[in-house]
Amino acid sequence: MKSKNIAIAGEITPSKTIIPIIEKLRERENEGKLSFEINKIIGLYHGESSRDFLEPYCDETYSIGEGRRGKKNSLGKLAYLISKDILKSFNALKGKGIDLLITAGNAGDVRKAIVAANILNIPVLHIEQDIYNPIEVISQANLVTVPSKGYEEYLEKNYKLNNVVNINGYPMAKYVDDYIKENNLIDKDEIYGEYGMKEFVLVVLGGDLKDDDIEPLIRAVEELNLKALIAPYRFDRNMVKELVLSPNIKVLPQYVDMLSFMNAASHLIYAAGMGMTIEAGVFNIPSLKIEGFHKTHGSVDLAKELNIPIVKIEEIPKAFENLPDQKESDLVQDSEIAIEKLVDLINDFDEKSLKRSGFKSTKQIWNSRKVYR
């Protein structure tokens, strides 16, 4: 039986998407249900925090740089930094006999890893979740998966992508469900005791928020007159703390176990994308999603499906008064279907019959992304 080396690349949310797939591959291998043996899993991590997610599932890990959202660089410097990280990706993949690269999401790690894989003639399977704003080089993947039939049709029609497959769900939901079931969550009472509040609103900063949005957001949360914990996430914690006036609000450390705090919270207000929307759906926590720069986004579609209102910052107090319950969803069940389909695709992967979509598709995606620049 042939052995294969598989490389995976990801920031935090893509890592949470890919991990259940790796677990299912290992499970099938142990059952003798794969057409190949797994020799090595190589992890390409994007940012130090994602390394912690990938290391337990990989035989080797390599840094391919870090995300630059929120950092202001000139076009020339940005091009230099991206080129430098593509070289890191190239060196991480070179000479290791990689048979397949798996990428997910629409962060910079996708661009760097796929470009490097193309140079080395390594086939690529990409898991897409935001069809409206994908990384343009997914057109150079041999196979692209999406979570719904409508999304499949969108990619084929708007970007002329070949080899798009609907897997009917979001694999990340399984990661969240497993995290809960395996008792990895911090005990609620421990969180209540540490922060001196038993019922609180969790406010997560990120996504499309800009520095100028933080003060009006904090004022809107203060207007609720409820206990709240703010997760600064992509924003400087000290800057956020200086803007808080109410004793009801405390600011969390820069990075925390967000799933544990979501589990302990009574409500969620968040300015983040697909990952947090999936997490909110699995926890079924009453939530508000803050409208960001991306009016059209995969996370917006999912939030609407889950009955999570999408509101402007100034609308938060009024919207919170009439916050509806989430709809019961099949996120976890659908994720299990998606994982099985993905593992089938990997097991039967034939790069010769899966040609890349090409540069016309690259250009169409590039042009569609102009609105987000």
Residue 332 CA to its chain's centroid (Å): 16
Q: Which has more pLDDT, 120 or 359?
A: 120
* Mean pLDDT computed over every residue of the chain: 91
Specify whether 27 is located in the same domain as 159. Answer: yes
Specify whether 12 is located in the same domain as 72. Answer: yes
* pLDDT 10s digits, 121-175: 999 999 998 888 888 999 999 999 999 999 999 999 999 998 999 999 999 999 9
Q: What pLDDT, on a 0 to 100 scale, did the predictor assign at position 277?
A: 96
* pLDDT 10s digits, 69-82: 545 566 677 677 77
Q: Does residue 108 carry a pLDDT above 80?
A: no
Specify whether 20 is located in the same domain as 163. Answer: yes
Specify whether 78 is located in the same domain as 205. Answer: no
d(CA 28, CA 365): 36
Specify whether 237 is located in the same domain as 313. Answer: yes
d(CA 126, CA 108): 13
Sign of the C-alpha dihedral, residues 311, 312, 313, 319? Answer: negative
Residue 43, phi then psi, degrees to nearest 5? -105, 130
Query: Which helix (H) or strand (E) segment is 176 a member of?
Result: helix 172-181
Q: What pLDDT band is residue 368 in, cutting at 50, 70 and 90?
A: confident
Structural domain containing residue 208: 177-331
Specify whether 190 is located in the same domain as 293. Answer: yes
What pTM was computed for the model? 0.93
Specify whether 233 is located in the same domain as 194. Answer: yes
d(CA 347, CA 2): 12
Average pLDDT over residues 94-106: 94
Specify whether 271 is located in the same domain as 192. Answer: yes
* pLDDT 10s digits, 205-220: 987 788 999 999 999 9
Percentage above 90 pLDDT, the chain: 72
Instruction: Give the range among 179-188, 325-334, 348-357 with minimum mean pLDDT.
Output: 348-357
* Of the candidates 356, 204, 182, the residue with the CA atom closest to the CA atom of residue 273: 204
Q: What pLDDT, on a 0 to 100 scale, did the predictor assign at position 193?
A: 96
Specify whether 217 is located in the same domain as 235. Answer: yes
Specify whether 42 is located in the same domain as 143. Answer: yes
Q: Where are the beta strands (DSSP E) in 50-185?
A: 60-63, 98-104, 124-127, 143-146, 164-166
Specify whether 74 is located in the same domain as 92. Answer: yes
Please tell me what DSSP assigns to residue 351: G
Average pLDDT over residues 244-253: 96
Number of domains, the chain: 2
Q: Are 160 and 357 in contact (CB under 8 A)?
A: yes
Specify whether 127 is located in the same domain as 192. Answer: no
Distances (CA, A) of 168 to 23, 146, 152, 357: 19, 7, 10, 22
CATH number at residue 199: 3.40.50.2000
Q: What pLDDT, on a 0 to 100 scale, did the predictor assign at position 296?
A: 83
Q: What pLDDT, on a 0 to 100 scale, did the predictor assign at position 371?
A: 66
